[in-house]
Amino acid sequence: MAEYVIAPTIDFLSFVDPAARVVVDLRCGDGSLGAAIREKRNAEVWGVEENPKRAAIAESRLDRVVRANFETALRELPDDYFDVVIAPGALSAWTEPEEALLQLQSKLTADGALLLDAPNVRSWRAVRGLLEGNWNPPRSVEGTIPLRHYTGADIAATLNESGYEIEKMWALGASEDAAPQELLQIFERLGYDAWTLAEESRYDHYVVRAVRANSLTDAEARTLGAVRAAHRLLLQGDFDGALERFERISELTKPGESGAMESTPLLAGRLALLLGKHEAAVRYFRAARNAAPDEAEPTLGLIEALAAAGMNDEAAELAARELERRPDDEELKRRLGELE
């Protein structure tokens, strides 16, 4: 994890590279921060704001304001355009941060940087509250309770998994009110990582500047984000939610695209069968078969889905046709026997 640089307060203006020429604030509010950046850094500054009243004020202060929520704004923001993307409080507010971070990659220039922040859930104030039976989580810069909570290590892991490298990390709100030595000694005897708790419990907040570790197209980033979200939902047992994600992947994936995306219709077909959504399974297995007509698995899946959907004649016809191509395929023979 990146080494901390101690900073007294959250001042995003001071964290913006003086060489940045184009900046976007994804939660610009009334444009106060953007106006300061525009004046002090002589930069072109965009803002994103959903609230009409705040957006109207921001429009008088910034070069351009996109009146939209985050997902809509992503479609309107130009690719390869911004030297700095600022997202105050967003990391804690995004329900699917990995997907959002992946999608932001395409908006950055080759040397562009992302500025994010998050309150430290490992601060002594939060830890002490839990030990005393009171959950008083650290607040975001806007004073709200975060949807997602982070330690410094969590922030680094989330960014790394989303294709970023941390260039610099600031620890804010340094205090003498840290985990007491007696407690740290107990933790150490129990085998816990007491040293990092001793250090990190002093801080209330983190700000990070991250740059892209790899380059993805906008479509690749959005699709990979959806794949990761679907995987997380599967692990949580939310199969309907995962299928919804797979449907989004199918919409994003174009025929012939390479990489991990090629397998998504096949995975969606399997999931749809498990959920009893047979017509959806037929649709996904057809897409998988069109993408890989010579592979057996998509064809077998389509035969099973057709039969489950009550389309036995079409399933039998497909099995017979494929058996002519692969006469020694025992699985095809078995499927055809069941359908006759």
Q: Domains in the chain, ordered, with CATH?
A: 4-212 (3.40.50.150), 218-339 (1.25.40.10)
Strand partners, 211: 113, 165
What pLDDT does 7 receive? 47
Handedness of CA 301, 306, 310, 313 (dihedral sign): negative
Report the pLDDT averaged over residues 60-80.
91
Q: How far is 217 from 223, CA to CA, in rounded Å?
A: 10
Cα–Cα distances in angstroms (integers) from residue 301 to residues 71, 131, 248, in the given order:
34, 52, 20
- Is residue 291 scored above 80 in pLDDT? no
> How much is the mean pLDDT over the chain?
81
pLDDT exceeds 90 at position 67 = yes
Q: How many helices (H) and strands (E) does the chain have?
A: 17, 8
* pLDDT tens by residue, 109-130: 989 999 999 989 888 888 888 8
Between CA 47 and CA 33 the distance in angstroms is: 10
Residue 324 has a CB neighbour count (10 Å cut-off) of 8
pLDDT for the residue numbered 162: 82
Mean pLDDT across 83-99: 88
At 9 the pLDDT is 57
Instruction: Give pTM, 2 decimals.
Output: 0.65
pLDDT, one tens digit per residue, over 149-190 is 888 888 988 888 788 889 999 888 766 677 788 888 888 888
When comparing pLDDT for 216 and 195, which is higher? Answer: 195
Lowest mean pLDDT among 204-208, 220-224, 324-328: 220-224
> Is the predicted pLDDT of residue 142 greater than 70, yes or no?
no
| pLDDT at residue 261 in the model | 43
Instruction: Decide if pLDDT at 340 tops 80.
Output: no
Question: Would you state the pLDDT for residue 176?
Answer: 66
**Per-residue pLDDT averaged across 325-338, rounded?**
81
The predicted structure's pLDDT at residue 71 = 82
User: 92: which 2 tokens?
Assistant: 């804690």
Q: What is the DSSP string of 129-193?
A: HHHTT---PPP-TTSPPPSS-B-HHHHHHHHHHTTEEEEEEEEES--S----HHHHHHHHHTT--
pLDDT of residue 259: 43
Residue 22 neighbours by CB under 8 Å, 6+ apart: 43, 44, 45, 46, 81, 82, 83, 84, 109
Q: pLDDT band at residue 271, thresholds of 50, 70 and 90?
A: confident
Q: Count other Cβ atoms within 10 Å, centred on residue 337.
A: 10
Q: Yes or no: say if 120 and 204 are a contact pair by the CB < 8 Å rule.
A: yes
1: pLDDT strictly greater than 70:
no
Determine the straight-line distance between the first and last CA of the chain, rounded to whole angstroms. Answer: 61
Amino acid residing at 329? D
Q: Nearest-5° angle of CA 233, CA 235, CA 238?
A: 40
pLDDT at residue 48 above 90? yes
With a cut of 70, say whether residue 94 has pLDDT above it.
yes
Q: Is the pLDDT of residue 73 over 80?
A: yes
How is residue 176 written in tokens? Answer: 């003498």
pLDDT band at residue 263 using 50, 70 and 90 as cut-offs: low
Cα 162 to chain center, whole Å? 7
Q: Per-residue pLDDT averaged across 37-56, rounded?
A: 94
pLDDT tens, 209-234? 999 886 555 556 666 666 666 766 66
Is the model's pLDDT at 299 over the cut of 50? yes
Mean pLDDT on 237-242: 70
pLDDT at 137: 76
Output the furthest CA–CA distance in the chain (Å, rounded). 78
Please calculate the CA angle 227-295-315 and round it to the nearest 5 degrees. Answer: 95
pLDDT at 332 over 80: no
Looking at residue 223, its amino acid is T
